[in-house]
């Protein structure tokens, strides 16, 4: 079943001529892990933010449950955010520096009326534990965490709404291999248990290869290749993909 369908999505930033996202089409199936790869600056984060209307696209449709996300009212979009989440690439700017970690997470529950007050605290600790942090982090400010700890708070915050779709924008880039593995295992467990759907953006082809069903390869705002993960990694067609694979250790 198709969960989300993107049609002719286009974004041109002011001051620039070439579109950052140049009229792309794709759909994501329910329960699928779709990978998005491409060199730095090719438009991955822009595409992600347009999909959830965090920035405005100029053209296109994003169909989700018979509605066009780009056309619905802001207050309806706000409600959708519970189901459609994003883990931001930059944890530093996405966490309010004045709020304590416990409050950042509890606020998510309050906004989405998720639990009664008494349950909230327990749930906050539970979700911190899931990302390998825990009760001792409740009272800390974002500036009092290491880079990888901040990134995991970002992940916890996205999981807190119990979404059905998550855009993961370089979600594990600041995590060491062992914590990376814990987080990937967690994301894959949730995917199996709750049939979650992910759009997974990463520059790490090893990770993409190990978790994705399908992959899209992006270059300068366009999709240049897409297909099943096995096919793309075994027999890349486009020169750009070949280069990408060649410079990583996967083919060597």
Partner 1 sequence: MVLEIKGLRVRYGVGEVVRGLDLEIAKGECVGLVGESGCGKTTVGLSITRLIPERKGTISSGRILLEGQDLLTLDHESLRKVRGKKVSYVFQEPSSSLNPVFTIYEQLKEALPGRGATDDDAVISDLLKSVGLAKIAGKKNIYPHELSGGMQQRVMIAMAIVPRPDLLVLDEPTTALDVTVQNQILDLIMELKNKIGLSVLFISHDLRTIFRLADRVAVMYAGRIIEEGPRKRIVAQPGHPYTVGLIDSIPSFEHRKKRFDAIEGRAPLFSDLPQGCKFHPRCKFKIDKCVHAEPELEELSDGHVSRCIRAKGLIANGAIKGS
Ligand X SMILES: Nc1ncnc2c1ncn2[C@@H]1O[C@H](COP(=O)(O)OP(=O)(O)OP(=O)(O)O)[C@@H](O)[C@H]1O
Q: Which stretch binds Mg ion (CB under 5 A): 79-87, 93-101, 121-129, 145-153?
A: 145-153
Q: Does 40 bind ligand X (CB under 6 A)?
A: yes
Quick check: 148 binds ligand X (CB under 6 A)? yes
Query: Residues 150, 94: contact at Cβ < 8 Å?
Result: no
Looking at the Cβ atoms of 23 and 148, the one nearer to partner 1 is 148
Q: How far is the CB of 116 from ligand X (least distance, A)?
A: 30
Q: How many CB atoms lie within 10 A of CB 239?
A: 11
- Token pair recorded at residue 38: 């491409």
Binding mask 83-112 for partner 1 (x = CB under 8 A): ------xxxxx-------------------
Judged by CB under 8 A, how many residues of this single chain contact partner 1?
Answer: 56
By C-alpha distance, which of 150, 31, 144 is closest to 89?
150
Q: Give the neighbor-by-neighbor strand order of the sheet with 59-64.
A: 21-29, 2-11, 59-64, 67-68
What's CA 48's distance to the chain center, in Å?
A: 7
The closest of 186, 177, 252, 245 to 217, measured between CA atoms, is 245
- In b/e form, how buried is each residue of 133-154, taking b as 16+ CB within 10 angstroms? beeebbeeebeebeebbbbbbb
Q: Look at residues 106, 210, 94, 185 and name the one whose alpha carbon lies nearest to residue 147.
A: 94
Nearer to ligand X, 101 or 229 (CB): 101
Q: Which is nearer to partner 1, 85 or 241 (CB)?
A: 241
The contact set with Mg ion (CB under 5 A) reads 45, 89, 146-147
The contact set with partner 1 (CB under 8 A) reads 13, 15, 37-41, 44-46, 89-93, 132, 134, 136, 143-149, 152, 170, 173-182, 184-185, 188, 203-207, 209-211, 229, 233, 243-244, 247-250
The contact set with ligand X (CB under 6 A) reads 13, 20, 38, 40-46, 89, 143-149, 174
């Amino acid at each position: 079943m198709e969960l989300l369908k993107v049609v002719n999505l286009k974004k041109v930033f002011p001051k620039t001529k070439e579109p950052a996202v140049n009229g792309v089409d794709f759909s994501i199936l329910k329960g699928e892990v779709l990978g998005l790869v491409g060199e730095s600056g090719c438009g991955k984060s822009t595409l992600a933010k347009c999909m959830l209307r965090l920035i405005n696209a100029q053209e296109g449709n994003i169909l989700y449950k018979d509605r066009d996300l780009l056309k619905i009212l802001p207050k309806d979009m706000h409600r959708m955010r519970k189901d459609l989440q994003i883990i931001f690439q930059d944890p530093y700017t996405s966490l309010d520096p004045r709020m304590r970690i416990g409050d950042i997470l509890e606020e998510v529950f309050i906004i989405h009326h998720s639990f009664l007050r008494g349950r909230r605290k327990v749930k906050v600790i539970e979700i911190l534990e899931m990302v390998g942090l825990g009760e001792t982090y409740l009272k800390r400010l974002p500036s009092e965490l290491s880079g990888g700890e901040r990134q995991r708070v970002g992940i916890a915050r996205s999981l807190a709404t119990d979404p059905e779709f998550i855009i993961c924008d370089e979600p594990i880039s600041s995590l060491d291999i062992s914590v990376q593995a814990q987080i990937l295992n967690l994301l894959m467990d949730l995917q199996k248990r709750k049939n979650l759907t992910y759009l997974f953006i990463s520059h790490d082809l090893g990770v993409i290869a190990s978790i994705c069903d399908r992959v899209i390869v992006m270059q300068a705002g366009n999709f240049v290749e897409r297909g099943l993960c096995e096919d793309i990694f075994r027999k890349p067609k486009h020169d750009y993909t070949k280069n990408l694979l060649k410079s990583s250790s996967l083919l060597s």
